[in-house]
Structure 1
Amino acid sequence: MQPFPSAYQRILDKTLESGFTMASDALTCSLLRTLAVSKPSGKFLELGTGTGLSTSWILDGMDPPSTLISIDNDAVFLDIAREALGSDPRLQLVLTDGGAWIEENAHQRFDYIFADTWHGKYLLLDKALAMLNKGGFYIIDDMLPQPNWPEGHEEKATGLVAFLEAREDLLLTNQLWATGVVIAVKK
Protein backbone atom coordinates (compact mmCIF):
# COMPACT_ATOMS: atom_id res chain seq x y z
CA MET A 1 0.00 0.00 0.00
CA GLN A 2 1.24 3.46 -0.85
CA PRO A 3 1.94 5.82 2.05
CA PHE A 4 -0.60 8.30 3.35
CA PRO A 5 0.28 12.01 3.03
CA SER A 6 2.70 13.18 5.70
CA ALA A 7 0.14 15.50 7.34
CA TYR A 8 -2.70 12.96 7.28
CA GLN A 9 -2.35 11.46 10.77
CA ARG A 10 -1.93 14.86 12.41
CA ILE A 11 -5.07 16.12 10.64
CA LEU A 12 -6.97 12.92 11.47
CA ASP A 13 -6.13 13.26 15.18
CA LYS A 14 -7.30 16.90 15.21
CA THR A 15 -10.42 15.93 13.23
CA LEU A 16 -11.37 13.32 15.81
CA GLU A 17 -10.71 15.78 18.65
CA SER A 18 -12.87 18.43 16.97
CA GLY A 19 -15.86 16.13 16.52
CA PHE A 20 -15.98 16.73 12.75
CA THR A 21 -17.77 13.74 11.20
CA MET A 22 -18.04 14.70 7.52
CA ALA A 23 -14.48 13.93 6.38
CA SER A 24 -13.95 11.88 3.25
CA ASP A 25 -12.80 8.30 3.80
CA ALA A 26 -9.27 7.10 2.96
CA LEU A 27 -10.40 5.13 -0.11
CA THR A 28 -11.96 8.21 -1.67
CA CYS A 29 -8.96 10.32 -0.69
CA SER A 30 -6.57 7.86 -2.30
CA LEU A 31 -8.56 8.15 -5.53
CA LEU A 32 -8.46 11.95 -5.28
CA ARG A 33 -4.66 11.79 -5.08
CA THR A 34 -4.40 9.42 -8.04
CA LEU A 35 -6.64 11.61 -10.19
CA ALA A 36 -4.66 14.70 -9.17
CA VAL A 37 -1.49 13.22 -10.65
CA SER A 38 -3.17 13.24 -14.08
CA LYS A 39 -3.44 17.06 -14.10
CA PRO A 40 0.13 18.43 -14.27
CA SER A 41 0.28 22.21 -13.84
CA GLY A 42 -3.41 21.97 -13.02
CA LYS A 43 -5.82 24.36 -11.40
CA PHE A 44 -7.66 22.54 -8.60
CA LEU A 45 -10.74 23.55 -6.61
CA GLU A 46 -12.05 21.90 -3.46
CA LEU A 47 -15.46 23.00 -2.25
CA GLY A 48 -15.67 21.96 1.39
CA THR A 49 -12.23 21.78 3.01
CA GLY A 50 -13.51 20.52 6.33
CA THR A 51 -10.39 19.83 8.41
CA GLY A 52 -8.20 19.22 5.37
CA LEU A 53 -8.05 15.42 5.20
CA SER A 54 -8.98 15.25 1.52
CA THR A 55 -6.98 18.42 0.90
CA SER A 56 -3.83 16.65 2.08
CA TRP A 57 -4.39 13.83 -0.42
CA ILE A 58 -5.09 16.17 -3.34
CA LEU A 59 -1.92 18.13 -2.55
CA ASP A 60 0.02 14.87 -2.33
CA GLY A 61 -0.91 14.09 -5.95
CA MET A 62 -0.32 17.56 -7.34
CA ASP A 63 2.93 18.56 -9.02
CA PRO A 64 4.83 21.72 -7.97
CA PRO A 65 3.33 24.12 -10.57
CA SER A 66 -0.27 23.12 -9.74
CA THR A 67 -2.50 25.24 -7.50
CA LEU A 68 -5.40 24.36 -5.19
CA ILE A 69 -8.06 26.71 -3.89
CA SER A 70 -9.98 25.12 -1.02
CA ILE A 71 -13.12 26.75 0.38
CA ASP A 72 -14.90 26.28 3.71
CA ASN A 73 -17.23 28.36 5.86
CA ASP A 74 -16.17 27.00 9.27
CA ALA A 75 -13.14 28.75 10.77
CA VAL A 76 -12.58 26.11 13.47
CA PHE A 77 -12.25 23.28 10.95
CA LEU A 78 -10.40 25.38 8.39
CA ASP A 79 -7.83 26.30 11.07
CA ILE A 80 -7.00 22.59 11.44
CA ALA A 81 -6.25 22.45 7.71
CA ARG A 82 -4.34 25.74 7.86
CA GLU A 83 -2.17 24.53 10.75
CA ALA A 84 -1.21 21.31 8.97
CA LEU A 85 -1.14 22.43 5.32
CA GLY A 86 -0.96 26.22 5.27
CA SER A 87 2.76 26.38 4.53
CA ASP A 88 2.26 24.71 1.13
CA PRO A 89 2.64 27.52 -1.44
CA ARG A 90 0.35 25.69 -3.90
CA LEU A 91 -2.60 25.93 -1.50
CA GLN A 92 -4.96 28.83 -0.93
CA LEU A 93 -7.40 28.22 1.95
CA VAL A 94 -10.41 30.50 1.82
CA LEU A 95 -12.85 31.09 4.69
CA THR A 96 -16.14 32.07 3.07
CA ASP A 97 -19.56 30.86 2.08
CA GLY A 98 -19.25 28.44 -0.84
CA GLY A 99 -22.19 29.94 -2.70
CA ALA A 100 -20.83 33.47 -2.46
CA TRP A 101 -17.40 32.27 -3.60
CA ILE A 102 -18.83 30.49 -6.66
CA GLU A 103 -20.90 33.55 -7.60
CA GLU A 104 -17.89 35.90 -7.23
CA ASN A 105 -15.47 33.58 -9.07
CA ALA A 106 -17.67 32.18 -11.85
CA HIS A 107 -15.12 33.47 -14.39
CA GLN A 108 -12.40 31.11 -13.12
CA ARG A 109 -11.74 27.74 -14.78
CA PHE A 110 -10.40 24.56 -13.19
CA ASP A 111 -8.99 21.22 -14.32
CA TYR A 112 -10.28 19.42 -11.24
CA ILE A 113 -13.17 20.18 -8.90
CA PHE A 114 -13.87 18.12 -5.79
CA ALA A 115 -17.29 19.24 -4.57
CA ASP A 116 -17.66 18.02 -1.01
CA THR A 117 -20.29 20.44 0.29
CA TRP A 118 -23.75 21.68 -0.68
CA HIS A 119 -22.54 24.52 -2.92
CA GLY A 120 -21.19 23.10 -6.14
CA LYS A 121 -22.91 19.78 -5.50
CA TYR A 122 -26.58 20.31 -4.65
CA LEU A 123 -26.63 24.11 -4.92
CA LEU A 124 -25.21 26.17 -7.80
CA LEU A 125 -24.27 22.95 -9.60
CA ASP A 126 -24.60 24.45 -13.08
CA LYS A 127 -22.32 27.34 -12.14
CA ALA A 128 -19.74 24.98 -10.63
CA LEU A 129 -19.78 22.76 -13.72
CA ALA A 130 -19.36 25.83 -15.93
CA MET A 131 -16.06 26.44 -14.09
CA LEU A 132 -14.69 23.11 -15.33
CA ASN A 133 -12.26 23.07 -18.25
CA LYS A 134 -12.71 20.63 -21.10
CA GLY A 135 -11.16 17.35 -19.97
CA GLY A 136 -11.49 18.41 -16.34
CA PHE A 137 -12.66 16.17 -13.51
CA TYR A 138 -15.76 16.88 -11.41
CA ILE A 139 -15.70 14.57 -8.38
CA ILE A 140 -18.27 14.03 -5.63
CA ASP A 141 -18.50 11.45 -2.87
CA ASP A 142 -21.08 10.30 -0.32
CA MET A 143 -23.50 9.18 -3.02
CA LEU A 144 -24.26 5.88 -1.26
CA PRO A 145 -26.48 6.05 1.85
CA GLN A 146 -24.55 7.37 4.85
CA PRO A 147 -25.47 7.05 8.53
CA ASN A 148 -25.35 10.84 8.98
CA TRP A 149 -27.79 11.61 6.14
CA PRO A 150 -30.90 13.49 7.22
CA GLU A 151 -34.30 12.10 6.30
CA GLY A 152 -35.04 12.62 2.61
CA HIS A 153 -31.40 13.05 1.57
CA GLU A 154 -31.27 9.77 -0.36
CA GLU A 155 -33.74 11.20 -2.88
CA LYS A 156 -31.54 14.28 -3.30
CA ALA A 157 -28.46 12.14 -3.95
CA THR A 158 -30.31 9.91 -6.41
CA GLY A 159 -31.65 13.00 -8.21
CA LEU A 160 -28.19 14.55 -8.38
CA VAL A 161 -26.69 11.45 -10.01
CA ALA A 162 -29.58 11.24 -12.49
CA PHE A 163 -29.12 14.92 -13.36
CA LEU A 164 -25.39 14.45 -13.97
CA GLU A 165 -25.96 11.30 -16.04
CA ALA A 166 -28.42 13.17 -18.28
CA ARG A 167 -26.01 16.00 -19.10
CA GLU A 168 -24.59 15.83 -22.59
CA ASP A 169 -21.46 17.81 -21.70
CA LEU A 170 -20.23 15.22 -19.18
CA LEU A 171 -19.04 11.64 -19.34
CA LEU A 172 -19.72 10.06 -15.98
CA THR A 173 -18.78 7.00 -13.95
CA ASN A 174 -20.89 6.29 -10.87
CA GLN A 175 -18.85 4.04 -8.58
CA LEU A 176 -20.67 1.97 -6.00
CA TRP A 177 -17.47 1.87 -3.96
CA ALA A 178 -16.19 3.55 -0.80
CA THR A 179 -18.93 6.06 0.13
CA GLY A 180 -20.17 6.23 -3.45
CA VAL A 181 -17.92 8.26 -5.72
CA VAL A 182 -19.00 9.92 -8.96
CA ILE A 183 -16.36 11.04 -11.42
CA ALA A 184 -17.41 13.15 -14.39
CA VAL A 185 -15.23 14.52 -17.16
CA LYS A 186 -16.19 17.60 -19.16
CA LYS A 187 -16.44 16.82 -22.88
Structure 2
Amino acid sequence: METTPMSGVTATGEPTHLAGALELAEQFDLPPVRPENRVPTSCLPGVGQLLATLAASTSVRPDAVVLELGTGAGVGTAWLTHGLAPGARLITVEADAERATAVGALFAGEPRVSVVHSDWHAVEPPRGGACLLFADAGLRHEIHPPAWDAIVDLLDIGGLLVFDDLTPPGGPTLLDNEEDKRRFVFGHPRLRGVEVVDISGESSVLVAARHA
Protein backbone atom coordinates (compact mmCIF):
# COMPACT_ATOMS: atom_id res chain seq x y z
CA MET A 1 0.00 0.00 0.00
CA GLU A 2 1.36 3.43 -0.92
CA THR A 3 1.82 5.85 1.97
CA THR A 4 2.08 9.62 2.08
CA PRO A 5 5.01 11.22 3.95
CA MET A 6 4.13 13.05 7.15
CA SER A 7 3.96 16.84 7.08
CA GLY A 8 7.46 18.24 7.63
CA VAL A 9 9.17 15.03 6.46
CA THR A 10 10.78 14.19 3.14
CA ALA A 11 10.42 10.79 1.48
CA THR A 12 13.91 9.94 2.84
CA GLY A 13 12.83 10.62 6.43
CA GLU A 14 14.80 13.87 6.79
CA PRO A 15 13.10 17.11 7.84
CA THR A 16 11.65 18.83 4.79
CA HIS A 17 13.48 22.11 5.41
CA LEU A 18 16.79 20.67 6.62
CA ALA A 19 18.65 20.92 3.30
CA GLY A 20 17.64 24.57 2.89
CA ALA A 21 18.60 25.35 6.49
CA LEU A 22 22.02 23.76 6.01
CA GLU A 23 22.53 25.92 2.92
CA LEU A 24 21.71 28.99 5.01
CA ALA A 25 24.09 27.77 7.70
CA GLU A 26 26.88 27.74 5.12
CA GLN A 27 25.84 31.17 3.87
CA PHE A 28 25.87 32.66 7.38
CA ASP A 29 29.07 30.83 8.41
CA LEU A 30 27.25 28.70 10.97
CA PRO A 31 28.56 25.18 10.26
CA PRO A 32 27.45 22.37 12.58
CA VAL A 33 30.97 22.24 14.02
CA ARG A 34 33.88 24.59 13.43
CA PRO A 35 36.83 22.33 12.51
CA GLU A 36 39.42 24.61 14.09
CA ASN A 37 38.00 24.36 17.63
CA ARG A 38 35.17 21.75 17.47
CA VAL A 39 32.68 24.33 18.78
CA PRO A 40 29.12 23.70 17.50
CA THR A 41 27.41 26.67 15.84
CA SER A 42 24.36 24.98 14.25
CA CYS A 43 22.23 22.15 15.60
CA LEU A 44 24.06 18.82 15.36
CA PRO A 45 22.23 15.83 13.81
CA GLY A 46 21.91 13.87 17.06
CA VAL A 47 20.59 16.94 18.85
CA GLY A 48 18.14 17.48 16.00
CA GLN A 49 16.81 13.96 16.31
CA LEU A 50 16.28 14.51 20.04
CA LEU A 51 14.45 17.79 19.35
CA ALA A 52 12.18 16.10 16.82
CA THR A 53 11.39 13.36 19.32
CA LEU A 54 10.58 15.83 22.10
CA ALA A 55 8.50 17.97 19.71
CA ALA A 56 6.47 14.88 18.85
CA SER A 57 5.26 14.82 22.46
CA THR A 58 3.32 18.01 21.74
CA SER A 59 0.63 15.81 20.17
CA VAL A 60 -0.88 15.39 23.64
CA ARG A 61 -1.99 19.04 23.52
CA PRO A 62 -3.79 20.27 20.40
CA ASP A 63 -2.88 23.89 21.21
CA ALA A 64 0.75 23.20 22.13
CA VAL A 65 3.41 25.88 21.59
CA VAL A 66 7.10 25.15 21.10
CA LEU A 67 9.61 27.98 21.55
CA GLU A 68 13.09 28.26 20.11
CA LEU A 69 15.38 31.05 21.34
CA GLY A 70 18.05 31.67 18.73
CA THR A 71 16.91 30.60 15.26
CA GLY A 72 20.33 30.88 13.66
CA ALA A 73 20.09 29.39 10.17
CA GLY A 74 16.98 27.36 10.98
CA VAL A 75 18.62 23.94 11.39
CA GLY A 76 17.10 23.37 14.83
CA THR A 77 13.86 24.84 13.52
CA ALA A 78 13.76 22.22 10.78
CA TRP A 79 14.21 19.39 13.28
CA LEU A 80 11.58 20.79 15.67
CA THR A 81 9.10 21.10 12.79
CA HIS A 82 9.93 17.53 11.81
CA GLY A 83 8.35 16.28 15.04
CA LEU A 84 5.74 18.98 15.56
CA ALA A 85 2.15 17.80 15.95
CA PRO A 86 -0.27 18.95 13.21
CA GLY A 87 -2.14 21.39 15.49
CA ALA A 88 0.90 22.68 17.41
CA ARG A 89 2.82 25.89 16.77
CA LEU A 90 6.53 26.68 16.73
CA ILE A 91 7.70 30.22 17.52
CA THR A 92 11.38 30.75 16.83
CA VAL A 93 13.06 34.02 17.81
CA GLU A 94 16.17 35.48 16.16
CA ALA A 95 17.84 38.79 16.99
CA ASP A 96 19.72 39.07 13.68
CA ALA A 97 17.47 40.61 11.03
CA GLU A 98 19.15 39.01 8.01
CA ARG A 99 18.97 35.52 9.50
CA ALA A 100 15.36 35.99 10.61
CA THR A 101 14.34 37.13 7.12
CA ALA A 102 16.11 34.24 5.40
CA VAL A 103 14.70 31.57 7.72
CA GLY A 104 11.26 33.17 7.52
CA ALA A 105 11.39 32.81 3.75
CA LEU A 106 12.50 29.19 4.04
CA PHE A 107 9.51 28.34 6.24
CA ALA A 108 7.03 30.61 4.46
CA GLY A 109 4.93 27.65 3.35
CA GLU A 110 4.73 26.13 6.84
CA PRO A 111 1.76 27.67 8.71
CA ARG A 112 2.75 26.10 12.03
CA VAL A 113 6.05 28.03 12.16
CA SER A 114 6.47 31.72 13.04
CA VAL A 115 9.92 33.29 12.72
CA VAL A 116 10.13 36.40 14.91
CA HIS A 117 12.84 39.02 14.51
CA SER A 118 13.37 40.18 18.06
CA ASP A 119 15.50 39.94 21.14
CA TRP A 120 13.84 37.03 22.93
CA HIS A 121 13.45 39.08 26.13
CA ALA A 122 10.81 41.17 24.35
CA VAL A 123 8.71 38.17 23.30
CA GLU A 124 5.57 37.56 25.33
CA PRO A 125 5.37 34.01 26.67
CA PRO A 126 2.66 31.96 24.98
CA ARG A 127 -0.64 31.66 26.80
CA GLY A 128 -0.29 28.81 29.27
CA GLY A 129 3.46 28.57 28.61
CA ALA A 130 5.50 26.54 26.16
CA CYS A 131 5.43 22.74 26.13
CA LEU A 132 9.01 22.67 24.85
CA LEU A 133 11.70 25.36 24.93
CA PHE A 134 14.95 24.99 22.98
CA ALA A 135 17.18 27.69 24.49
CA ASP A 136 19.86 28.12 21.84
CA ALA A 137 20.41 31.88 21.95
CA GLY A 138 23.70 33.39 23.13
CA LEU A 139 22.70 33.13 26.78
CA ARG A 140 24.98 34.69 29.36
CA HIS A 141 23.42 36.52 32.33
CA GLU A 142 20.16 34.55 32.05
CA ILE A 143 21.89 31.36 33.19
CA HIS A 144 22.97 32.91 36.48
CA PRO A 145 20.64 32.61 39.51
CA PRO A 146 19.19 36.16 39.63
CA ALA A 147 17.75 35.75 36.12
CA TRP A 148 16.91 32.02 35.99
CA ASP A 149 13.18 32.64 36.25
CA ALA A 150 13.15 34.65 33.00
CA ILE A 151 13.58 31.35 31.15
CA VAL A 152 11.63 29.02 33.42
CA ASP A 153 8.59 31.33 33.32
CA LEU A 154 8.31 30.71 29.57
CA LEU A 155 7.46 27.06 30.25
CA ASP A 156 4.15 25.48 31.16
CA ILE A 157 4.09 23.12 34.15
CA GLY A 158 5.45 19.89 32.75
CA GLY A 159 7.14 21.75 29.89
CA LEU A 160 10.62 20.69 28.78
CA LEU A 161 13.73 22.87 28.55
CA VAL A 162 16.67 21.89 26.32
CA PHE A 163 20.22 23.25 26.37
CA ASP A 164 22.73 21.88 23.86
CA ASP A 165 26.42 22.53 23.10
CA LEU A 166 27.89 20.89 26.20
CA THR A 167 30.86 18.57 26.50
CA PRO A 168 30.20 15.40 28.55
CA PRO A 169 31.61 15.60 32.10
CA GLY A 170 35.31 14.83 32.13
CA GLY A 171 35.89 16.04 28.58
CA PRO A 172 37.52 19.31 27.48
CA THR A 173 35.17 22.26 27.96
CA LEU A 174 34.58 24.05 24.67
CA LEU A 175 32.27 26.91 25.73
CA ASP A 176 32.58 29.13 28.79
CA ASN A 177 28.94 28.79 29.87
CA GLU A 178 28.68 25.00 30.12
CA GLU A 179 28.92 24.80 33.92
CA ASP A 180 26.49 27.72 34.23
CA LYS A 181 23.95 25.72 32.23
CA ARG A 182 24.44 22.71 34.52
CA ARG A 183 24.04 24.83 37.65
CA PHE A 184 20.84 26.25 36.18
CA VAL A 185 19.26 22.87 35.32
CA PHE A 186 20.33 21.04 38.46
CA GLY A 187 20.02 23.98 40.85
CA HIS A 188 16.71 25.60 39.94
CA PRO A 189 14.01 24.63 42.48
CA ARG A 190 11.32 24.38 39.77
CA LEU A 191 13.26 22.08 37.43
CA ARG A 192 14.14 18.40 37.33
CA GLY A 193 16.87 17.64 34.82
CA VAL A 194 19.23 15.12 33.31
CA GLU A 195 22.31 15.35 31.10
CA VAL A 196 22.07 13.20 28.00
CA VAL A 197 25.69 12.31 27.30
CA ASP A 198 27.38 11.76 23.94
CA ILE A 199 24.25 12.40 21.95
CA SER A 200 26.01 13.66 18.85
CA GLY A 201 29.66 12.83 18.62
CA GLU A 202 31.37 14.28 21.72
CA SER A 203 28.42 16.44 22.66
CA SER A 204 25.86 16.32 25.46
CA VAL A 205 22.49 17.95 26.03
CA LEU A 206 20.64 19.02 29.16
CA VAL A 207 16.91 18.27 29.34
CA ALA A 208 14.80 19.53 32.23
CA ALA A 209 11.10 19.53 33.08
CA ARG A 210 9.37 22.34 34.95
CA HIS A 211 7.48 20.75 37.85
CA ALA A 212 6.26 23.85 39.71
Give the TM-score category using the shorter length.
Answer: 0.7 to 0.9
Give runs of aligned pairs for residues 27-176 of structure 1, distance below 5 A: 27-40=46-59, 41=62, 42-101=64-123, 105-106=124-125, 108=127, 109-119=129-139, 122=143, 124-144=147-167, 149=175, 153=176, 156-176=177-197
SS in 1 for 2:30: coil
Percent sequence identity over aligned pairs: 24
TM-score, normalised by the number of residues in structure 2: 0.76
Whole-Å Cα distance in 2 between the matches of residues 122 and 27 of structure 1?
24
Residue 15 of structure 1 aligns with which residue? 25
Whole-Å Cα distance in 1 between the matches of residues 184 and 110 of structure 2?
36
Structure 2: gaps spanning 5 or more residues: 1-11, 32-40
SS in 2 for 1:142: strand
Residue 5 of structure 2 aligns with which residue? none
The 3 A distance-change label for structure 1 pair 174 and 89 is: same
Deviation at 1:159, TM superposition (A): 2.6
Q: Contact 1:172–1:185 at 8 Å: present in 2 too?
A: yes
Deviation at 1:86, TM superposition (A): 2.2
TM-score, normalised by the number of residues in structure 1: 0.85
AA partner of residue 131 (structure 2) = D
Deviation at 1:107, TM superposition (A): 6.8
Query: How many residues are matched?
Result: 177
Larger radius of gyration: 2
Whole-Å Cα distance in 2 between the matches of residues 77 and 125 of structure 1?
27
Q: Which moved more, 1:113-122 or 1:56-65?
A: 113-122
SS in 1 for 2:166: coil
Q: Which moved more, 1:122-131 or 1:18-27?
A: 122-131
Whole-Å Cα distance in 2 between the matches of residues 146 and 76 of structure 1?
31
Higher helix share: 1
Matched, 1:26 2:59: no
AA partner of residue 53 (structure 1) = V
Whole-Å Cα distance in 2 between the matches of residues 125 and 54 of structure 1?
23
Whole-Å Cα distance in 2 between the matches of residues 82 and 60 of structure 1?
16
Q: Contact 1:106–1:127 at 8 Å: present in 2 too?
A: no
Deviation at 1:172, TM superposition (A): 0.6
After superposition, give the CA deviation of every residue in 1:14-67 in whole Å (9 maximum; x if it has no partner): 211221242110110110001111111221110000111110111110111101
Give runs of aligned pairs for residues 172-183 of structure 1, distance below 5 A: 172-177=193-198, 178=200, 179-183=203-207
Structure 1: gaps spanning 5 or more residues: none
Matched, 1:5 2:15: yes
AA partner of residue 180 (structure 1) = S
Deviation at 1:11, TM superposition (A): 1.6
Whole-Å Cα distance in 1 between the matches of residues 155 and 126 of structure 2?
10
